[in-house]
Structure 1
Amino acid sequence: MSVILILRLILDKKHQVVMETQEEHSRQRRVAEREARRSRRRRARESKNIFGHHDGLSSDDEENQSEISKFVVEKDDIIKGTERLFEDTIDDYSKLDSVRKQFEKWKFRYEDNYREAYIGLCIPKLVNPFIRLALVDWNPLKISVDFEEMEWYNSLILFGCRGEDDITPDRSDEDTRIIPSVIDKIILPKITYLCQHVWDPMSTTQTSRLVNLVQKLVNDYPTVNANNKNTQSLLKAIADRMKKSLDDDVFMPLYPKSVLENRSSGPTVFFHRQLWSCIKLLGNILSWQGILSSSVLQHLSLDGLLNRYIVLGLYSSCLTKEALEKSQAIISTFPKEWFIDLEEDKTLPKLENLCRYLLQVADQLHKSSIMVKDSERLENRNYIKQISKFLILIHATDHAIFLSNTYSFKIGKV
């Protein structure tokens, strides 16, 4: 082997070691930053006397500060670039207001000719570049200006009106459909893209903002309906993104109960954080009730998350008060609409695994009450009554009656 080849191998090995060292330092820095964020949030909650919070309920951004700074710089470059797009365009056609005024003059002076040319159908395409430009930095997943407060919206909302007294819509006038058309052709595709590439279903804040926006569009704009192609694409993107999150972002470690008995150990802390994170995602998914169909939501939330991960985590947990707290948090996410039309006294078949877990908890509580003080026995009995209330909330009345007969108590009102 030549000396040059040996030197090259040594240099390659040193380069590899340096790269691995840098990668390890970068990983340690991200871990330290993540833990620092958790500590800051914990101190903030303590200062505000916020109780009932658990690790795993807060969305934790994995990006480090250098990546965030890089994104901000690149975004600012793009925004500056957009300011030069109409540099070579004359003033009459470089701004939306100017273009709007040109067509309004045409409509007011030669209305018949304006209608015969079907300008109302052309306007959405003509204003498309201006609106897309205004929406470059619009991200409703973060604190952002409502699109209805933007200049382009205010410019188009009264398009073709001759004055404040002329605001009664004429249904035969195509200009009244400009805003709904813009929502369909521009806003919906923009939101669809954000759902596919930006939205994090694990984030309660982002999910809440997105749900509110989509619900507003459904309620306020006639073009956003189940028969609309772009609406269908948006709803499919939402469901697909949540399914991808279930496949890629959810991990439930399974440890022996002997390991989880030490509440302060690293594996136990990690286990409970992951379990609470799954419960948070369950609530995020079910916040789409009323927008996505119940069948889709039940498949994602119950098949893909509850029975696949959460119930297994509950069975692995030690029997503590927190186990009931987790159960209550899970049941509180279920939409009441699911249980309205159920017949007999049985709950949804997909919730039977959760019911069996609750029955097992009740049995363990009863057995642990045999050789304890009266105060602890009474506390365990109250926990069993609480479990019966959980079962009634999900329409599992047959199981609640079983507990009532087995442990001799009356089923109270929920």
Structure 2
Amino acid sequence: KRRESQADPALSTEPSAVNIPDAAFIQAARRKRELARARDDYISLDVKHTSAITGMKKNSDEDPESEPDNHEERIPFTPKPQTLKQRMAEETTSRNETSEESQEDENQDIWEQQQMRKAVKITEGRDLDLSYSSEPQTVKKFDTLISLPPVNLEIIKKQLNTRLTLLQDTHRSHLREYEKYIRDVKSSKSTIQNLENSSNQALNFKFYKSMKIYVENLIDCLNEKIISIQEIESSMHALLLKQAMTFMKRRQDELKHESTYLQQLSRRAETSTNESLAVDEKTQWILEEIESRRSRRRQARALSGNCDHQEGTSSDDELSSADMNDFQKTQGDISQDRKKIFEDVHDDFCNIQHILLKFQQWREKYPDSYYEAFISLCIPKLLNPLIRVQLIDWNPLKFDAIGLKQMPWFTSIEEFMASGMEDSKKEDSSDKKILSTVINKTIIPRLTDFVEFIWDPLSTSQTTSLITHCRMILEELSTCANEVSKGKQDLLKSIVVRMKKAIEDDVFIPLYPKSTVENKTSPHSKFQERQFWSGVKLFRNILLWNGLLPDDTLQELGLGKLLNRYLIIALLNAIPGPEVVKKCKQIAAYLPEKWFQNCAMRTSIPQLENFIQFLLQFAHKLSGSEFRDEVKEIIPILVKIKALNQAESFIEEYHLDHLKSVIREV
């Protein structure tokens, strides 16, 4: 009621006379309420004391005998002990009083806030009414002077076409999404079907277990047979090496004995003695054997119609009938031993096609596990012993040797790789490198052994056959693998080293006095001619490697070490004539045309500078001799090797205007 009485004056006042109570007024009202609340609950100390004394007097009047004696009166200095129930009751009472006081304080605060908000709202409302009343009321009117854009059929048609185009684009996008969803549904169904088909764990386990057992048995079989394979390989290699060393030693011994014999003839001619030359039996037998083989080769060439052959360019690789029979018998025994290696082995463990078929089944059924197991790295190692068995009889130095592409292992690997490219969706499938790895790890090392120990660079037939196989292998290797393999580098390096050794050991062109070699039928002249043409033959065999070996390497070997060091010296010592022109033309014919394909070339390569100077000097000698007509044969040689400036100078110097047409044709 007090709150309502206090609030009534504020509510009854007019809005114009509203007074907001300040903090001091509110604090005074709060203290007043607290005092009023205290008066209601307060009991005076005097009243209590009087009532207590009165009660005591009444008790004493009623029962005077019950009053204690003076010595029995006790003054209580401490409060009387309370029981547990009394203490709990007091605590509950104090808590209730505290909560009631706090609740009243909160109610008071809420009431004060409400009063202040009411006063503020009334004041704001009055201000708003005044502001609205002061503003004039305005009504928006449409301005008829504003002109709208013109509308015609073209604009409407254009807008409709634009709208139609947008709708068509939207329709097409919806169709594409629909087709995509159809494909996704089909793909999901296919995936579900594949998962359902491959969910048979028992079959998977059975397959992997069978492959594990098969591979273990295959490895055990190959480990047992590898010793026999190595022994037979060593036997065949030793047989071919023995034959090659026999030919090489015989050629060097015959060259030594023949050169010694001719030196003895020269010394006897210098002393002008008519005594017969004493020749030991061994030298005599060797010379007769050499001449006998040459006679047989001449007869064979005559029967075949080869009349342009030069003495010294044939390969002296003939064996006696006894030696040939022994060689063939030993080779046949090795071939029989090779066939017996796997005669007690099932085809699944010795036939390359059957082995690859096992792995092909794995790749088709479980491609993920196949590629995760890196089988493409294991297959070349597994096939290595089996391929080596097939290569035991293979001799790349024979002109009739079978090509690698015709071998069974090569075709089997190609078919395996081709089927892998069809089955695999990976463009960079690792199976594509199987063939290149086999060539690197198995074929090239065997080819390198032939080059280092068995190949004779002086033999044109061996060189031609070796180049054919090397070219095919390196081309196949370049198509399968982009990187340059270490095996390829080792092979090319061994070829260069072997040709250097042949130049140093097998090239020997003796120089005799011109009086000795003027007679073309003399043994000195014949021996010198044979040795010169033997050097030309090696020169040709070296340049046959054009395209496989770098140009600078071939120029260093063929031109720097052989032509400039041996052949040109022999030409300088030769008697000018048609024979020298023929030799120069043959040397120029063996030079690769690729070296001179640059049309802007007016001077030849630096390594041919000595050869060009010799041609110019030789032409100068011919111009003053009876063979001046041979000069016209020198100009085409200069033109072929792109020594055009020297050729023009020579023509102008000797007034050979009729040869200018040869230069114009270039």
* TM-score, normalised by the number of residues in structure 1: 0.84
Shifted more, 146-155 versus 128-137: the winner is: 146-155
Q: Which of 168, 179, 183 pairs up with 2:439?
A: 183
Structure 1 position 305 matched with structure 2 position 562: yes
C-alpha offsets along residues 253-272 of structure 1, whole Å, 9 cap, x if unaligned?
11111111110111111100
1:116 pairs with 2:372? yes
**Separation in 2 of the partners of 1:221 and 1:237?**
18
What residue in structure 1 maps to residue 654 of structure 2? 407
Q: Aligned to 2:440, what secondary structure does the other structure show?
A: helix
Say which of 235, 260, 284 aligns to 2:517. Answer: 260
Q: Does the 8 Å contact 1:225/1:231 carry over to 2? A: no
1:247 aligns with 2:496: no
Aligned mates of 2:562, 2:318 — CA distance in 1: 22
Question: What secondary structure sits across from 1:255 in the alignment?
Answer: coil
1:246 is displaced (CA, Å) by: 0.4
Pairing partner for 1:78 from 334, 346, 353? 334
* Contact in 1 for aligned 2:602/2:644 (Cα 8 Å): yes
Q: 2:454 aligns with which of 198, 207, 212?
A: 198
Contact 1:260 1:267 in 2 (8 A): yes
Aligned to 1:212: 468
Output one character per residue of 1:61-95: Cα deviation in whole Å (capped at 9) or x when no partner. Answer: 16544444333333223222223333554543133
Instruction: Provide the rounded CA distance (Å) in 1 between the counterparts of 2:337 and 2:292.
Output: 36
Structure 2 Cα separation of the partners of residues 269 and 169 of structure 1: 69
- Secondary structure at the counterpart of residue 615 of structure 2: helix
| C-alpha separation in 2, matches of 1:245 and 1:224 | 33
Superposed, 1:38-77 pairs within 5 Å as: 38-61=294-317, 63-77=319-333
Does the CA-based 8 Å contact 2:510-2:528 persist in structure 1? yes
Give the alignment partner of residue 578 of structure 2, picking from 318, 321, 334: 321
Once residues 76 and 28 of structure 1 are traced to their aligned partners in structure 2, the CA distance between those partners, rounded to angstroms, is 35
**Aligned ranges for residues 4-403 of structure 1 at < 5 Å?**
32-61=288-317, 63-87=319-343, 89-142=345-398, 143-159=400-416, 166=422, 171-222=427-478, 223=480, 227-341=484-598, 345-369=602-626, 380-403=627-650
Q: Is 1:158–1:167's contact at 8 Å kept on the other side of the alignment?
A: no
Distance 2:323 2:545 in 1: 31
C-alpha separation in 2, matches of 1:94 and 1:28: 55
Q: Once the two structures are superposed, what CA deviation does each residue of 1:33-77 show, in whole Å capped at 9, x if it has no partner?
A: 543443333233334443332111221116544444333333223
- Return the offset for 1:275: 0.6
**Contact kept? 2:577, 2:622, Cα under 8 Å:** no
- Equivalent-residue separation in structure 2 for 1:185 and 1:248 (angstroms): 32
SS at structure 1 position matched to 2:353: helix
Provide closer, same or farther for how the CA distance between residues 54 and 120 of structure 1 changes in structure 2, counting only shifts above 3 A: same
Q: Which residue identity is paired with 1:398? A: N
Counterpart contact for 1:34–1:60, Cα < 8 Å = no
The C-alpha deviation readout for 1:159-191, integer Å capped at 9, x for no partner, is 16669x959996333223222221121111111
Please, which runs of 5 or more residues in structure 1 have no aligned partner?
Answer: 1-23, 370-379
8 Å contact from structure 1 (residues 148, 154) kept in 2: yes
Task: Report if aligned partners of 2:603, 2:642 keep a CA contact under 8 Å in 1.
Answer: yes
The 10-residue stretch of structure 1 (403-412 or 46-55) with the greater mean CA deviation from structure 2: 46-55
Tell me the number of residue pairs that the alignment of Structure 1 and Structure 2 aligns. Answer: 380
1:15 corresponds in structure 2 to none
Q: CA RMSD in A?
A: 2.7
> Matches of 1:354 and 1:81 in 2, distance apart?
54
Distance (Å, rounded) in 1 between the aligned partners of 2:536 and 2:394:
30
C-alpha distance in 2 between matches for 1:169 and 1:315: 68
1:354 partner letter: F
Tell me the CA shift for residue 27 of structure 1. 6.9
Q: Which amino acid aligns with 1:408?
A: H
Amino acid at match of 1:39: S
Bigger Rg, structure 1 or 2: 2
Question: Which stretch has the larger CA shift, 212-221 or 255-264?
Answer: 212-221
How far, CA to CA, are the matches of 2:425 and 2:509 in structure 1?
Answer: 56
Q: 1:122 to 1:175 in 2, by over 3 A?
A: same
Q: Distance in 2 between matches of 1:60 and 1:138?
A: 22
Determine helix, strand or coil for the equivalent of 1:175: helix
| Distance change >3 Å, CA 346–CA 132, structure 1 → 2 | same
What are the superposed Cα offsets for residues 5-48 of structure 1, whole Å, 9 maximum, x if unpaired? xxxxxxxxxxxxxxxxxxx8777666555434433332333344
SS in 2 for 1:390: helix
How much does 1:318 deviate? 1.5
Stretch moving more, 135-144 or 52-61: 52-61
2:437 maps to a residue whose letter is S
Q: What is the TM-score with the length of structure 2 in the denominator?
A: 0.53
Is residue 56–residue 277 contact of structure 1 (8 Å, CA) maintained in 2? yes
Per-residue Cα deviation, 1:366-388 (whole angstroms, up to 9, x for no partner): 2214xxxxxxxxxx343112111
The one of the two structures with greater contact order (alpha-carbon pairs below 8 A, sep at least 6) is 1
Change (3 A) 1:225 1:363: farther
Query: Aligned pair in 2 of structure 1 residues 225, 110: CA closer, same or farther (>3 Å)?
Result: closer
**Cα distance between partner residues in 2 of 1:294 and 1:196:** 22
Q: Aligned-pair distance for 1:336? A: 2.2
Report if the CA contact (8 A) 2:601-2:642 is conserved: no
In structure 2, relative to structure 1, the CA distance for the partners of 1:220 and 1:323 (3 Å cut) is same
The 10-residue stretch of structure 1 (202-211 or 94-103) with the greater mean CA deviation from structure 2: 94-103
Between the aligned partners of 1:99 and 1:193, the Cα distance in structure 2 is 28
